[in-house]
Structure 1
Amino acid sequence: MPVLFRSDLWEVNRAHMKTFKRETSETDIEVKLDIYGEGNTRINTGIGFFDHMLELFGRHGFMDLEVKADGDLEVDYHHTVEDTGIVLGRALNECLGSRGGITRYGDVLLPMDDVLLQAAVDLGGRSYYQGNISADRKVVNGFPLELLDEFFCSVTDHGFFNLHLLVRRTGNAHHLAEACFKAAARALDSALKHEKRLDETPLSTKGQLEEGKDN
């Protein structure tokens, strides 16, 4: 499958990208992100299925996303998936800045053939994830889908936002995973839309959005 990436546009958009890098004894990960991009991606985590999911995330959220990950895959996929979520969450938080002028909330009900999935996002500065992806204990090409809950939990913890992923109708495991990433991306894209009536102020009665606070 071709990578959803165009090098000419990538160079143009680099000025708007945020870069985060994290290195531990288990993983070495770098993420470059522009949340107002065109859906260009360059992904290499060493896990083919996970690469495909991140490509979908960037494309359907219209984010320019580059991920380079070197992890202890000889152990399992867990550290690489979880730590990629940590770094992506930090990059998202940096891109969001004060979170002023954005719609803040986004939701979508997304079909993927036999699967129906609902996603809802609040970019209000508080970390919370709730999902039921792991319920069926599905595995795709050796990739346990329960790791997707770990990934999205890491992204929200370090991105300081709420995400709910509700599987309304389950089915093919690959379709389920695709629906999760597409729905999360579409809900994020909706929440990131600029609202001119806010005049660049955050959508909160407090007048500001603080990380970890009631907003």
Structure 2
Amino acid sequence: MRTGTITRKTAETDIAVSVNLDGTGTYSVDTGIGFLDHMIEQFSRHSLIDVECRVKGDLHVDQHHTTEDSAIALGQAISQALGDKKGITRYGTAYSPMDEALARVALDISGRPVLVWKAGFTQPRLGEMDTELFEHWFQSISQAAGITLHIECLYGSNNHHIIEGIYKGFARAMRDAVSIDPRKADAVPSTKGILGG
């Protein structure tokens, strides 16, 4: 089993995250932000990556630190679980329809973190979550896990549908990218022999 566990305690957040890349999409998530919980649960369910995520953050200040640090810890746990990345498919792409909205996510577990974000929202909040923080969450997980990540909302009008489609697309792309290719299960998928740098 490819698993990773991260505990992270700062003056702003106290976090425990564990993942199992070879799971079934079971999850237990409590960040203190209901909508963020819902999105991480969607990620787990549709990637089939088991996720346990507990965050106690300084929500009396705002949601920024909790959102950022949850993504950092989740990305670090995924990176830990990937180890030397031998045998992974490496790339993943998904088109994710959510009612009238359509998201496209393409990613490469390259070790070279980049986020290209082409999505926007017409309201400042979903539930109690600030919509400006979604881009930051994906930036943070991209950095921590070493993922080149391209996210685009092709169209859509309902803000909830747009972001849920993006998270589900990210999940499906990750499901493919972390899967083991049986034809090259003993090799790192790079002519360099390593991923990153």
| Helix, strand or coil at the partner of 1:39 | coil
| Helix, strand or coil at the partner of 2:187 | coil
Q: Give the aligned residue type for 2:184.
A: L
| Helix, strand or coil at the partner of 1:46 | coil
2:21–2:49 CA contact under 8 A, matched in 1: yes
Q: Which residue of 1 aligns with 2:138?
A: 152
Quote how far apart the aligned CAs of 1:196 are: 2.1
Is 2:5 the counterpart of 1:26? Answer: no
Quote how far apart the aligned CAs of 1:187 are: 0.3
Quote how far apart the aligned CAs of 1:33 are: 0.6
Quote how far apart the aligned CAs of 1:58 are: 0.3
Quote how far apart the aligned CAs of 1:207 are: 1.8
Tell me the alpha carbon deviations over residues 79-127 of structure 1, each in whole angstroms, 9 at most, x when there is no partner: 1000101111110110111111111111011100011000001012111
Is 2:107 the counterpart of 1:121? Answer: yes
Q: Which residue of 2 aligns with 1:82?
A: 68
Q: What is the aligned counterpart of 1:36 among 6, 11, 22? A: 22
Q: Give the aligned residue type for 2:73.
A: V
Q: What is the aligned counterpart of 1:111 among 97, 101, 114? A: 97
Q: Give the aligned residue type for 1:49.
A: F
User: Quick one: percent identity of the two aligned structures?
Assistant: 38
Q: Give the aligned residue type for 1:118.
A: R
* TM-score for both structures, normalised by structure 2: 0.95
Q: Which residue of 1 aligns with 2:189?
A: 203
**TM-aligned CA distance change 1:136 to 1:195, over 3 Å:** same
**TM-aligned CA distance change 1:194 to 1:185, over 3 Å:** same
Tell me the alpha carbon deviations over residues 43-62 of structure 1, each in whole angstroms, 9 at most, x when there is no partner: 01111111111100000000
Q: How many residues align?
A: 197
Q: Give the aligned residue type for 2:20.
A: D
Unaligned 5+ segments in structure 1 are 1-14
* TM-score for both structures, normalised by structure 1: 0.87
Unaligned 5+ segments in structure 2 are none
1:39–1:62 CA contact under 8 A, matched in 2: yes
Tell me the alpha carbon deviations over residues 114-170 of structure 1, each in whole angstroms, 9 at most, x when there is no partner: 110000010121111111234545421231222111111110101011111101002
2:121–2:131 CA contact under 8 A, matched in 1: no
Is 2:57 the counterpart of 1:57? Answer: no
2:105–2:150 CA contact under 8 A, matched in 1: yes
Q: Give the aligned residue type for 2:46.
A: H
Q: CA RMSD in A?
A: 1.4
Q: Give the aligned residue type for 2:153.
A: V
Distance 2:87 2:152 in 1: 28
